[in-house]
Amino acid sequence: MANLINEAEVRNTWSPIIEEATGINESSKLAWMSEYCHNHKLYEDANIMALGTAGNIFGMGATSFPAGSAQGDAGAAGSGDKAPTLLPLAMQVAAQTIGLDLVPVVPMAGPMGLLSYLDFVYEGGKIAGTTSPTYVKVYSDAAGETVAISNDGNGAACATLEGTSRIDGHGIYLITAAGEAVAGAGTVADCFTVSGGNEVVDLVKALEDHIPGFSGADADGRPMSRGVGEQTPDKVMGLSLFSKSVSAETFQVAAAVTREQVQDLKQFGVDAVAQVEAVLTNELTQSINNHILNKMRTIAGSGISELDLTLAAGETKGDSHRRILTNILAAANLIAQKGRRGAGNFAVVSGLVASAIQGVAGFVAYPMANTVNQVAGSIYPLGSVAGINVYTDPSIEFGSLEILVGRKGDGNGPGLVFMPYLMAESVQAIVEGTMAPKVAVKSRYALVEAGFHPQTQYESFSIKANPGLVL
């Protein structure tokens, strides 16, 4: 469903409502939540509950779904009930889901959508008679197989190896004149053979990989003299737009209370149905948080060595704990080097590691700018260290020694992107027979690996179990 008004007007309309309802005032979060609320206000306005021709005098009967799934298919009519999308509940789920602070959010207007992202590719001019670029990355689709350069009919090599990808280690090749002739009669893949499997030919992405000789005089990246520069045509770098299709997936949970509970809890000023809805909301937020963090841990790199906190002569526990902060910074800088979009800006730790970070928040001997909260009971988020926001994950073991560091982007680069369709859809019904209320809550969204190398935006490392972390 397309937006009917511009983004600025959507933001001005919904931001005050969201801020008053949830207390959120972060600019980026207000932006996507405003878009989400606008989309689903249109959805609610476009759906009107159907009533009988006699003003529903005879009642609606039991709830039922319509029969027949094809458009125009004759079948039994449904009961006319509409499952409401409750924006207040959806806003509470969004506000409580800390995982959404770690990933960019791009709302979907429907259950299916496209996520677009762009990259610069090395073109180097087009091969005559083909649409293939001069520079290509070639590898086998079978693990462990090697790639060999083929020759043309006269024994001339079809390509030269220019280097290897710093991300995946695959070879980067420059198609030669002989290769142009071969590709002109077939494809670039004909210029290569592999010992097993099939050749895979990819474009070389400039933001992930770099070819020193592309803009210089040679493979070592030396510049050209003026005379050579005047006589050398420019090599072409192209901007390419790519897209990935996505579909919403579902978390759902329900709860019921008895009529006696509804009646008897009123004497304590407790609304039983509201309490049930709060529990269901908490269940959804924890499920979404765990899904996001587990996905990050699955794709994260492991370029930082295991951290050994063994104390050397003259060292204190404070020295040992301070190394944790240094390793977090090292992981953040490694993300900047690998992803080339910026350094990591968040870290997720266990309660034990969080306690160690809190203990050195004001460490004078080796000061580091931080806003770490040292108040007992601080759980989530913990604060920031040298510009890196630190979060405690209560879903993992308190003594876990695994640390996740990542970078939250803007949705246009690599990494995970959260695309909500329905943050929270709530249906309340009266159970036939007992006449007790039942509440069902559902969340539908897509968690998408965007870009060509989303794993470059996350790093994980562990603390050595022996001697481990001693507080």
Amino acid at 173: Y
Q: Give the model's pLDDT for residue 116.
A: 77
Whole-number pLDDT of residue 72: 40
pLDDT value of position 346: 93
- Sign of the Cα pseudo-torsion (297, 298, 299, 301, in order): positive
Mean pLDDT across the chain, nearest whole number? 78
Span 243-289, pLDDT tens digits:
778 888 999 888 888 888 888 888 888 888 788 888 888 888 888 88
Paired with 404 in beta bridges are 348, 460
For the chain, the first-to-last Cα distance in angstroms comes to: 54
Taking CA atoms, 391 is separated from 347, 358, 373, 381, 469, in Å, by: 6, 12, 11, 4, 18
| Residue-level pLDDT at 458 | 95
Q: What is the mean pLDDT of residues 447-466?
A: 88
Residue 26 has pLDDT above 80, yes or no: no
Question: Exposed/middle/buried for 190, CB within 10 Å: 0-12, 13-18, 19+?
Answer: middle
Question: Of 3.90.1690, 3.40.5, 3.40.50, 1.10.3470, which CATH number belongs to 1-48+76-111+248-471?
Answer: 3.90.1690
Numbered ranges of CATH 3.90.1690 in the chain: 1-48+76-111+248-471
Please write the tens of the pLDDT for every residue from 314-335.
788 888 888 898 999 999 999 9
CA distances from 226 to 215, 217, 231 (A): 14, 11, 9
Asked whether the predicted pLDDT for residue 236 surpasses 60, the reply is yes
Q: What is the pTM of this model?
A: 0.74
With helix as H, strand as E and coil as C, how does the chain read?
Answer: CCCCCCHHHHHHHHHHHHHHHHCCCCHHHHHHHHHHHHHHHHHHHCCCCCCCCCCCCCCCCCCCCCCCCCCCCCCCCCCCCCCCCCHHHHHHHHHHCHHHHCCCECCCCCCEEEEEEEEEEECCCECCCCCCECEEEEEECCCCCCEEECECCCCCECEEEEEECCCCCCEEEEECHHHHHHHHHCCHHHHEEECCCCEEEECCECCCCCCHHHCCCCCCCCCCCHHHHHHCCCCCEEEEEEEEEEECEEEEEEEECCHHHHHHHHHHCCCHHHHHHHHHHHHHHHHHHHHHHHHHHHHCECCCCCECCCCCCCCCHHHHHHHHHHHHHHHHHHHHHHHCCCCCCEEEECHHHHHHHHHCCCCCCCCCCECCCCCCCCCCCCEEECCEEEEECCCCCCCCCEEEEECCCCCCCCEEEEEEEEEEEEEEEECCCCCCEEEEEEEEEEEEEECCCHHHHEEEEEECCCCCCCC
Please give the pLDDT value at position 70: 43
pLDDT of residue 86: 47
Given a cut of 70, whether residue 365 has pLDDT beyond it is: no
- What's the pLDDT tens digit per position in 456-465? 999 999 998 7
The pLDDT assigned to 340 comes to 82
What pairing do the DSSP bridges indicate for beta strands 402-406 and 346-349?
antiparallel
On the question of pLDDT at 58 being above 50, the answer is no
Assess contact for 251 and 287: CB atoms under 8 A.
yes
| Residue pair 405/388 in contact by the 8 Å Cβ criterion | yes
- How are strands ordered across the β-sheet holding 388-392? 383-385, 388-392, 346-349, 402-406, 458-462
The answer to whether 163 and 204 have CB atoms below 8 angstroms apart is no
